[in-house]
Structure 1
Amino acid sequence: MSTIGLNVYSTVNNTTATQTDYQRTPYGYTPTLYVCVLFVILYSVTTTLHVLQTCWSRLWWLFPTAVLAGIAEVIGWSGRLWSSINPHAADPFLIQIVTTIIAPTPFIAANFVILGHIIKRLGPQYSRLSAKWYTFIFCSCDFVALVVQAIGGAQAAGASQNGQSSDAGGHIMLGGIVFQLVAICVYALLAVEFLLRYHYDRPFRRGARVFSSSTTDALDRGTRFMISALCMIWIYLFIRSIYRTIELSDGWTGRIITTERYFNILDGAMIVLAMFTLNLFHPGLLLGKAAQWKRINTSQAGSLEALEKQAKSSTSSL
């Protein structure tokens, strides 16, 4: 990586110098004004919807996940909008490069929480990990990725402002992105294994389901829609993570990062689609409000306690 991609050059008066200056903007291009306005509006709309849906469903964990991701994306695209007006300013470039990289991380955590609840709903016996550990492990991985990317972004920004090489910061950011990509892939594999075991009734351990047969069918319809939504969201996030990995590997002045349409489609559009998909297939609508989530947790705890007592009783009788 080179500091050229993060440096700001002064504007000159003659035409030839102006063309050279344009090529040397921090982006390698000037962000398109209407595209930036469009994404600021889209992210503002989906974030507002998430706020309203969170208050309605009382699933408060969506505030530090989906809502926080939306706010970060609005900030990032506002920085790009600022750059479209003043393409040589350093501050908006640094704002957008950091926020747009880390913004999807809390959103990914929301998907981990939802899948953990689906595991509780359908049966923990079909999951390699318990729902509690599943959520804890992958949310922890997500947090580590967030911290690593933030540290890398801050180091790259600081090095740029001091006229030093931003290579080290870029490599740290790349490490955070790769770690996040690996976590997403492992998450997907375990989710697929869980769903296949549930479908073919191949549990790791035998246990009673949380719900009675009279309510399972109605709940399963919402669960199926939620699972389909998670699959779509995973595809969007996977595409975006692959793009970001290639982009940072290519360097600050590489062809990938200096081509605007790649960023607009493979980053901006992917996260917009993921966030609106969660608006449409909201866990509060498909899996119930907070009271129902709490009831499921309580029912599962009771079922597990009964199973443990049964196992102890069987052991003592032997």
Structure 2
Amino acid sequence: MDSTSTAAASRPTAPITDPGRFNGSPYHYTPTEWICILYIVLFSISGIIHIIQGIHYRLWFLLPTAVLACIGEVLGWSARLWSSLNVDLETPFIMQITTTIIAPTPLVAANFVILGQLILRLGPAYSRLSAKWYTIVFCTCDLIALVIQAVGGASASTAVNKNEDPNKGGHIMLAGIVFQMAAITVYVALASEFILRYAYNRPVRKVKMESYDASDDAPLDKKLKLMLLSLALSSLLIFIRSVYRTIELTDGWDGKIISTEVLFNVLDGAMIALATYTINFLHPGLLLGPGRMWKRT
């Protein structure tokens, strides 16, 4: 056996791609090391801040949502960093594509909970759904999307370990992210209608409103506007990322979208990083008060 044959035999198989065309890299490129480190640092800092803010304001729902999303992103970008050091390995590739797809899902749930609180404060009469049902319906959709994506990721990972085609798992992940994007689309539409109806005083129905302390009206008004801005911006960023990942998975493992690193860095990493920091800086605890001040359904 000559040296060329020996080298070829020693290279690990890569069922996701054609090793001859892409030099054995399942990405079709080598992830940039400093970019991976940058996102690991950014998501770690945001996650730590979310832990501190969640505990300080007693908003415990942020721990299994915003904090969990940051942890998932740190894992995903750590896997990409691993790949930057040894791009031929398939384990970190599957790890990063699974975690970066799943990680933003809990962050979406945080937005659903925050909007429910805004509906309670601004007036349930302007919302198609009550705050309670809003949270139940969309958090359930978010959970379903999370389960589907996790099942797809596990299927793809198992296929790779067995040197089988992981496309089935990829299709399942695609179904999960499409379902999530559909839920976000409906959520954005209903949230936009709620904001417009409130702005123009066009209630959907008559609802008995709780009384407010008149002394709180002025500061609450400004803070609620900032909270609406935070919610709108973070939701938009997550939606852009969902559209990108849908197109990426539809294009396939060997498609041009998944093969272009800058698209992933900007349309996935940057969008979610900006979304998490938006909630850090325009925090619901700062703008809506600590947990004891939150209205209950």
The normalised TM-score by structure 2 is: 0.91
Q: Distance in 2 between matches of 1:145 and 1:104?
A: 11
2:185 — aligned with what? 185
Aligned equivalent of 2:15: none
Name the CA distance, whole Å, in 1 between partners of 2:161 and 2:42.
31
Runs of 4+ displaced beyond 2 Å: 8-12, 19-24, 204-210
The answer on whether the counterparts of 1:157 and 1:166 sit within 8 Å (CA) in structure 2 is yes
Whether the aligned pair in 2 keeps the contact of 1:151 and 1:173 (CA below 8 Å) is yes
The aligned residue for residue 133 of structure 2 is 133
Deviations 1:155-197 (A, max 9, x none): 0111111121212111111111111001001001111111111
What is the alpha-carbon distance in structure 2 between the residues aligned to residue 208 and residue 243 of structure 1?
Answer: 41
Which aligned pairs between 1:124-203 and structure 2 lie closer than 5 A? Answer: 124-203=124-203
Q: Is the 8 A contact 1:59 1:290 kept in 2?
A: yes
> Partner residue of 1:222?
223
Q: Distance in 1 between matches of 2:174 and 2:10?
A: 30
| Counterpart in the other structure of 1:280 | 281
* Residues 123 and 156 of structure 1: CA distance in aligned 2, closer, same or farther (over 3 Å): same
Does 1:120 find its partner at 2:120? yes
Q: Distance in 2 between matches of 1:184 and 1:217?
A: 31
Q: How far apart in 2 are the matches of 1:10 and 1:213?
A: 75
Give the CA RMSD over aligned residues: 1.8
Change (3 A) 1:115 1:134: same
Contact 2:40 2:78 in 1 (8 A): yes
For residues 166 and 11 of structure 1, the distance between their equivalents in structure 2, rounded to whole angstroms, comes to: 19
Question: 3-state DSSP class of the match of 1:238?
Answer: helix
Deviations 1:111-151 (A, max 9, x none): 00000000001111111100000000000000000000000
Larger Rg: 1
Alignment match, 1:213: 214
Secondary structure in structure 2 of the residue aligned to 1:98: helix
How many Å apart are 1:9 and its aligned residue? 8.8
What's 2:103 paired with? 103
CA distance 1:30–1:10, shift in 2 (3 Å): farther
| Distance change (3 Å), C-alpha of 1:113 and 1:9 | farther
CA distance in 2, matches of 1:26, 1:10: 17
Q: Is the 8 A contact 1:122 1:210 kept in 2?
A: no
2: CA distance between counterparts of 1:108 and 1:290? Answer: 19
Task: Name 1:255's counterpart in structure 2.
Answer: 256
Counterparts of 2:249 and 2:256, CA distance in 1: 11
- Counterpart of 1:83 in structure 2 is 83
Q: CA deviation at 1:215?
A: 1.8
The one-letter amino acid of 2:289's match is: G
Partners in 2 of 1:87 and 1:197 — Cα distance? 52
TM-fit CA distance, 1:204: 2.3
Q: 1:140 to 1:258 in 2, by over 3 A?
A: same
Deviation at 1:36, TM superposition (A): 0.5
Which residue is 2:5 aligned to? none
Structure 1 residue 271 corresponds to structure 2 residue 272: yes
CA contact (8 A) 1:22 1:30 kept: no
Is the partner of 1:71 in helix, strand or coil?
helix
1:163 match: secondary structure: coil
Distance 1:238 1:279 in 2: 19
Residue 233 of structure 1 aligns with which residue? Answer: 234
| Alpha-carbon distance in 2 for matches of 1:164, 1:22 | 18
- Provide the C-alpha distance between the structure 2 equivalents of 1:285 and 1:115, rounded to a whole number of angstroms: 15
- Report the alpha carbon displacement of residue 243 of structure 1 after superposing the two structures with TM: 0.4
Q: In structure 1, how many angstroms separate the alpha carbons of the residues matched to 2:247 and 2:204?
A: 38
Supply the distance in 1 between the matched residues of 2:153 and 2:270 (Cα, whole angstroms).
22
User: Number of matched residues?
Assistant: 283
The secondary structure found in structure 2 opposite 1:24 is coil
Deviation at 1:21, TM superposition (A): 7.8
CA distance in 2, matches of 1:266, 1:10: 36
